[in-house]
């Protein structure tokens, strides 16, 4: 008997390979005692499946497990939808790099069978909660598993802002923006921006400047319990954007405040047994293996 009674399926939109993998999953899960539910947009790619479907925001309260077929971007969207409900996520990689979606399609039946029988590793990942305040009122916000980024939007010009951590002034900066990253996001945009890798178990937040105007501006790691406050400079001619995981955004204006802190609810990620973060780094980033095999 499986410990997961209802399994939700989410697929990468516009990907034929993801659709084929979901069909394999459906065929396999149909032989178990699991109920299968499709996320609504995914169901649109599988006409005539006859399976029940729910909007993404209903996956959390409806399912015991959600399997995401796609890349890390697909999993990020699902993570924000299910986090508040404690529903675990399992990723099947049909994207490119795939730090979070770590099951390969050719082993899908064996790996999913292990998970359904309770043979898996799980870990908790924290998200960031972001709010944009204007004249003391919240005008927008969002959650991020990877990162919150302030950037100039479509305008190629520097922006000015001040950074505060736990109420203390850190610095003012002129740059293309700032990446505020979780340990999960340290393998994503923050890594491209020159930030260090952080082990997923760390309780820390990373601040990575994007093309700063001073050579002394460097990435900084702060406590995961810190609150970061950004004050958008009054001299900005652009209207900086704030994005969460590159998928949701809020447009700011001079004088706005951006507040970022750890979200209360955590995400549960499921991995195959003996999942190894360092092995993932070796495979995905091309690190050297043992000198003698």
For the stretch 46-61, pLDDT in tens is: 998 999 999 999 999 9
pLDDT of 3 above 90: no
Element (H, E) at 177: strand 177-181
Q: Rounded to the nearest 5°, which phi and psi values hold at 19?
A: -65, -45
Residue 179 CA: distances (Å) to CA of 188, 234, 242: 10, 21, 10
* Per-residue pLDDT reduced to its tens digit, 114-140: 999 999 999 999 999 999 999 999 999
Residue 3 CA: distances (Å) to CA of 6, 10, 34, 65, 117: 9, 20, 9, 10, 7
pLDDT of 293 above 80: no
Q: What percent of the chain has pLDDT over 90?
A: 79
Answer with the residue of higher pLDDT: 152 or 99. 152
* Per-residue pLDDT reduced to its tens digit, 213-225: 988 899 999 999 9
Residue 76: the pLDDT is 94
Average pLDDT over every residue of 156-185: 95
Residue 57: the pLDDT is 94
Question: Contact at 8 Å (CB) between 260 and 128?
Answer: yes
Residue 119: the pLDDT is 95
Structure tokens of 13? 């939109």
Residues identified as active-site = 72
Q: What percent of the chain has pLDDT over 70?
A: 98
Average pLDDT over every residue of 36-54: 94
Q: Which domains does the chain have, with CATH numbers?
A: 6-120+272-285 (3.40.50.10330), 127-264 (2.60.200.30)
pLDDT of 97 above 70: no
Residue 8 CA: distances (Å) to CA of 39, 115, 252: 7, 14, 36
Q: What is the pTM of this model?
A: 0.94
pLDDT of 292 above 80: no
pLDDT of 1 above 60: no
Residue 238: the pLDDT is 80
Residue 201: the pLDDT is 95
For all residues of the chain together, what is the average pLDDT? 93
Compute CA 56 distance to the chain's CA centroid, rounded to the nearest angstrom: 15
* Per-residue pLDDT reduced to its tens digit, 259-277: 999 999 999 999 989 889 9
Question: What is the C-alpha to C-alpha distance for residues 276 and 221, in angstroms, rounded to an integer?
Answer: 23
């Amino acid at each position: 008997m499986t410990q997961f009674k209802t399994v939700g399926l989410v697929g990468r939109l516009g990907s034929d390979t993801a659709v084929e993998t979901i069909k394999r999953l459906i065929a396999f899960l149909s032989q178990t005692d699991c109920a299968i539910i499709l996320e609504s947009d995914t169901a649109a790619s599988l006409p005539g499946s006859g399976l029940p479907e729910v909007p993404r925001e209903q996956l959390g309260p409806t399912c015991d497990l959600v399997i995401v077929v796609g890349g890390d971007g697909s999993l990020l969207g699902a993570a924000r939808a299910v986090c508040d409900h404690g529903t675990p996520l399992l990723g099947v990689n049909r994207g490119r790099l795939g730090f979070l979606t770590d099951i390969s399609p050719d082993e899908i039946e064996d790996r999913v069978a292990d998970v359904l029988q309770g043979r898996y590793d799980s870990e908790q990942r924290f998200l960031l909660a972001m709010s944009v305040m204007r004249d003391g009122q919240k005008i927008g916000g969002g959650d991020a598993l990877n990162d919150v980024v302030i950037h100039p939007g479509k305008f190629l010009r520097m922006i000015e802002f001040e950074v505060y951590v736990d109420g203390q002034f850190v610095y003012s900066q002129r740059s293309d923006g700032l990446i505020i990253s979780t340990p999960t996001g340290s393998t994503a945009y923050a890594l491209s921006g020159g930030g260090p890798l952080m082990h997923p178990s760390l309780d820390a937040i990373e601040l990575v400047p994007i093309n700063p105007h001073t050579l002394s501006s460097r990435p900084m790691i702060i406590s995961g319990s810190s609150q970061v406050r950004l004050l958008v400079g009054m001299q900005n001619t652009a209207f900086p954007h704030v994005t969460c995981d590159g998928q949701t955004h809020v447009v700011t204006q001079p004088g706005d405040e951006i507040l970022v802190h750890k979200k209360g609810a955590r995400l549960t990620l499921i991995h195959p047994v003996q999942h190894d973060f360092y092995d993932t780094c070796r495979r995905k980033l091309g690190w050297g293996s043992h000198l003698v095999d």
